[in-house]
Structure 1
Amino acid sequence: MKRLKQSNAYADVAIVQSVEATDDFTVVFTLNEPDASFLDKLTSSAYSILDSELLKRHGGSDNGGDTARVWLDTSSAGSGPFVVRSWSPKELVLEKNPTYWGGNVNIDTVILKKMESVEAELEAIEKGEIDIALDLGVQAAGELDGRENVSVVSGTSVLLAFLAMSRDSGLAPEMSNPKVQEAVRYALDYKGYLALAGENSTVPLNFMPLGFTGALTRDLKTEGRNVEKAKELMAEAGYPAGFTVALVCPDIAMEGIDWNMVALKVKDNLTEIGIAVNIETLEYPQFYEKVRSAALPFYLAYWSPHYYDANSQLAFLPGVGENGTIYGRRTGWAADADNQSLLDLAAKIRGETDEALRAKYSKELQREYDRDNPFAFLFQPSGFFAYRNDTLAAVAYSDLSKKIELRELKAK
């Protein structure tokens, strides 16, 4: 836990008051306040248990100056089903851990490769050069459908695609206006984004993805697109003739979806209410640094939960400064008397262990949140992957993480 203080993940477990190993197989955590998600947090990769003595021999430290990362890039000090044999920017080779405690591991070696393009990935799985093709989009998955010895699997991911609009008037006074931000939400063609995202995709009401406690979806008949309402809000905000703004997006694909395609659709939607959008694409490291430093007034992004519990999504609540939230800080959305009700409901969700009550509070929070926030949540996309059914037994997404569990893979 001391070592975690040097990482971004520490905020999730800052409530830990003390940790005590009472015997060889028992660890007691004492918390400063109730946290219904604490055990879920500990399943996150950021909190993986590593061999402390081994790490210290390779530069590990819990007092600052930790240099073990270089060694960990090509070695293992954990207790999972696989250990690292080799690593390079384009390939990671894992081997079965002979001392794994969690049951049988069916595959001896797993090779994870970075493919140069979707086309190269499709060609490789058709030829049998790879056994699994990950992060396929709707179009790529469709191209493989029905191909000999290839099975395509889809399911709803836990990712969220969204627009963020800063409340910092110093960045872009027009976009920081709450009425403009509401107008943007009304202007969006949610059905069109679902078509981009593919089968099994959904539109969440806001920050809680389907599958999490009390998650609500947007009713596209009553809460969907309304261009006339959006124009009214633009006029109320003082911009009946519209304005020009830059929309920044990263140069990556998410679940096989090209961000530029999504950005172009946003541009088309907002043109109808007078907002002229100039799309700017940044390399992901540069984009992420600008997001973290709250330097962007309007951007397209995605969110992947840090751990699989509703509390992880409270990162989208208001709050700036040292005790703020992740996206409160990134959008300059301060906590104040007008949004105190959101924080009160969030506090109930954090500590409540009765799932029925948590679901009730979660739904109330999402409804209240939808009245005013600096985001527009576009979709929760489908995840697609394909596998060779002549070399592997049936492969499926994990119900919890919506990812493939490598230790459950079985060769034919």
Structure 2
Amino acid sequence: MKAGRLVVLVLVVALGLALSGCSSKPPSTAPTGAPVAAPPTSAQPATLVMVMNMDDVVTLDPHHAYETTNLMIHASTYDTLVEFKPGNLTEVSPRLADRWETSDGGKTYTFHLHPGVKFSSGNPVTAEDVRFSWTRLKNLKDNPAFYADLIDKVEAVDETTVKVTLTEPSPVFLSVCAAPAMSIVDSKVVKEHGGTDAADADKTDKAKDWLDQHSAGSGPFIQVSWTPKAEIVLEANPTYWRGKPKLDRVIIKHVADPTTVLQMLQRGDADLTDSLDPDLVEQAKADPNLKVTVGQTLNQNYLAMTSNPELSKPLADKRVRQAIALSIDYDGLIKALLRGYGSRAPSIIPLGILGVDPSMTQGRDLAKAKALLKEAGYENGFTVDLSYGSNPTRETIAAKLKSDLAEVGITVNLKPMEQSVYLSEMRAQKLALCFGGWTPDYLDPTMWTDYFSYHDRGIATRMLYNNPEAEKYAKIIDTEFDTAKRAQAIKDLQKVLMDDMPFTMLYQNQQIVVMNKAVQGFAYHPVQFVNFADLSK
């Protein structure tokens, strides 16, 4: 879990795990061979130019990468066994796997691959490629290797059947399978370029450099080049099993300056950007050649409050924590900081996740906050330190929180720190009141319920939060395969957290997407942003 990492986000949903099989569309008939790009035609190639800040890219090997931009690239150059489609983050859909079933109480998953699918090289996609891919991911032991932590063994039963044995029964695993890090690579091609799935792959695998510049997948596009901090070029896979993309080429250019991004869109030098600065939105809306859409991310910023009296006697009383949550002008914060491009969920589990009901969200209520403080014996207020990792955005948040709490008599001493110092202090359980960000690594509610509920994990540990009732519901969410029961447990957990109030969500980011009006088919995805196969121009 990447606390504070800005994503479109792994990246990222309780996810009705449709554990019964599903069927997908039959593949297009594709010629054999080893295509590297779409063949030339007399018509003008359909090229889409995207501009964005992509200085986070350090590798494009899907089993090494653990940043943000790579999620978008890998979603279009590789396939996973299953996927979450835009607009539906509560149901797992088939991708390479037509269907699947569980056995042994949820400890064993058996996937049945769509027959006839080929990699862009012309090699068939087989169960052995799945086994190799997930074993390589695990044995590389790099940042994304944790996605394979649940896996004990992967077996290729036959050409199109994969049997996965987990370390323990888990309803979460199917959601994890949709993560771009779980992409299926062409084992023959990767081995030809020095790749291995051996136990010592972290020392002996040599394929990363080649995979930085070329894809080895079965996705709708083929990566043909990457120039760090300059551009990434993708070309259509003419034999893609779901049909050749409408775009012939996608060029993603690195442009860090927000004003330059808008100017390129206005001049027609670019077709799409993933995130426009809120201060520039009105200019974009005024341009008749551009269209603006807003996507709801799963990224959030939260305020955390200890319940340990040794760190803060006032905060140890849940009435005080409730009063603080009711004192915050959330709407004003979203307007001032995000120009209104933000939202809030009832607790720390974001909007878009199974079991999250927006109508439960509480806003500001100063009268109730003051009454709670009086009831707790703090009618005249108290003083508390607010700690945070300093940057311009967080300074704005801190100043707003200080001002809001002053209205109910609470004096806040601001304690800005370097981010590394802040994280060290938080992990050492030294902070009474602090705020930070949270971004999911995969799309399952456990990305929130585990780390904000269990006393021995994540933010709950760092804030010394320990509530057996919260852990009871978190355990149900961890282990229950029935979607309805899981959703109810999430609702019940939210009620516990809203009553105990160890955390309150300050805001959930929204993403401002701008594109040329000629671009069609865009569907926002909170993890991978977009699949370029959906677009035309």
Under a length normalisation based on structure 1, what TM-score does the superposition of the two structures give? Answer: 0.80
Give ranges in structure 2 of 5+ residues lacking alignment: 1-133
Q: Aligned pair in 2 of structure 1 residues 226, 280: CA closer, same or farther (>3 Å)?
A: same
The aligned counterpart of 1:264 is: 399
The aligned counterpart of 1:22 is: 157
- 1:388: Cα distance to partner? 0.8
2:138 is aligned with 1:4: yes
**Distance in 2 between residues matched to 1:51 and 1:239, nearest whole Å:** 66
**Distance in 2 between residues matched to 1:93 and 1:291, nearest whole Å:** 42
The aligned counterpart of 1:161 is: 301
**Distance in 2 between residues matched to 1:88 and 1:187, nearest whole Å:** 46
2:465 is aligned with 1:325: no
Q: Aligned pair in 2 of structure 1 residues 357, 315: CA closer, same or farther (>3 Å)?
A: closer
The aligned counterpart of 1:74 is: 213
User: Counterparts in 2 of 1:365-380, with a 5 A limit?
Assistant: 365-380=493-508
Does the 8 Å contact 2:341/2:509 carry over to 1? yes
2:443 equivalent among 308, 311, 329: 308
**Distance in 1 between residues matched to 2:232 and 2:309, nearest whole Å:** 45
User: Counterparts in 2 of 1:12-411, with a 5 A limit?
Assistant: 13-52=148-187, 54-55=189-190, 57-58=193-194, 62-64=198-200, 65-66=202-203, 69-84=208-223, 85-98=225-238, 100-165=240-305, 173=312, 177=316, 179=318, 180-196=320-336, 197=338, 201-217=342-358, 219=360, 223-231=362-370, 236=376, 240-249=380-389, 251=391, 258-272=393-407, 273-278=409-414, 280=416, 282=418, 286=420, 290=424, 293=427, 297=431, 298-319=433-454, 324-334=456-466, 339-390=467-518, 392-398=519-525, 401=527, 403-411=529-537
Q: Which has the larger radius of gyration?
A: 2
Secondary structure of the corresponding residue to residue 303 of structure 2 = strand
- 1:370: Cα distance to partner? 1.6
Amino acid at match of 1:396: A
Q: Aligned pair in 2 of structure 1 residues 7, 92: CA closer, same or farther (>3 Å)?
A: same
**Distance in 1 between residues matched to 2:152 and 2:512, nearest whole Å:** 42
Q: Aligned pair in 2 of structure 1 residues 122, 208: CA closer, same or farther (>3 Å)?
A: same
**Distance in 1 between residues matched to 2:430 and 2:536, nearest whole Å:** 46
**Distance in 2 between residues matched to 1:181 and 1:70, nearest whole Å:** 51
Q: Aligned pair in 2 of structure 1 residues 332, 88: CA closer, same or farther (>3 Å)?
A: farther
Secondary structure of the corresponding residue to residue 291 of structure 2 = strand
> Over aligned residues, Cα RMSD in angstroms?
3.5
**Distance in 1 between residues matched to 2:260 and 2:488, nearest whole Å:** 47
Which is further off, 44-53 or 66-75? 66-75
Q: Deviations over 1:326-379 (max 9, x none)?
A: 333443435xxxx22222222322333433332222211111122224322022
The aligned counterpart of 1:255 is: none
- 1:410: Cα distance to partner? 0.7
Q: How many residues align?
A: 392
- 1:147: Cα distance to partner? 0.7
Identical counterparts, % of pairs: 26
Does the 8 Å contact 1:158/1:402 carry over to 2? no
Q: Aligned pair in 2 of structure 1 residues 53, 329: CA closer, same or farther (>3 Å)?
A: farther
- 1:187: Cα distance to partner? 1.7
Amino acid at match of 1:82: F
**Distance in 2 between residues matched to 1:379 and 1:293, nearest whole Å:** 23
Secondary structure of the corresponding residue to residue 357 of structure 2 = coil
**Distance in 1 between residues matched to 2:235 and 2:317, nearest whole Å:** 52
Which is further off, 325-334 or 156-165? 325-334
Q: Aligned pair in 2 of structure 1 residues 154, 242: CA closer, same or farther (>3 Å)?
A: same
Q: Deviations over 1:117-173 (max 9, x none)?
A: 222211121111211122124432222113121111123222222223456788x54
Q: Aligned pair in 2 of structure 1 residues 374, 351: CA closer, same or farther (>3 Å)?
A: same
Amino acid at match of 2:251: I
Does the 8 Å contact 2:295/2:513 carry over to 1? no
Q: Aligned pair in 2 of structure 1 residues 243, 151: CA closer, same or farther (>3 Å)?
A: same
Which is further off, 198-207 or 373-382? 198-207
Q: Aligned pair in 2 of structure 1 residues 248, 30: CA closer, same or farther (>3 Å)?
A: same
Which is further off, 360-369 or 304-313? 304-313
Amino acid at match of 1:366: Q
- 1:244: Cα distance to partner? 4.8
Give ranges in structure 1 of 5+ residues lacking alignment: 253-257
- 1:38: Cα distance to partner? 2.1
Q: Aligned pair in 2 of structure 1 residues 232, 114: CA closer, same or farther (>3 Å)?
A: farther
- 1:209: Cα distance to partner? 1.9
Amino acid at match of 1:107: L
Secondary structure of the corresponding residue to residue 378 of structure 1 = strand
**Distance in 1 between residues matched to 2:159 and 2:426, nearest whole Å:** 40
**Distance in 1 between residues matched to 2:415 and 2:261, nearest whole Å:** 28
Amino acid at match of 2:404: N
Secondary structure of the corresponding residue to residue 80 of structure 1 = coil
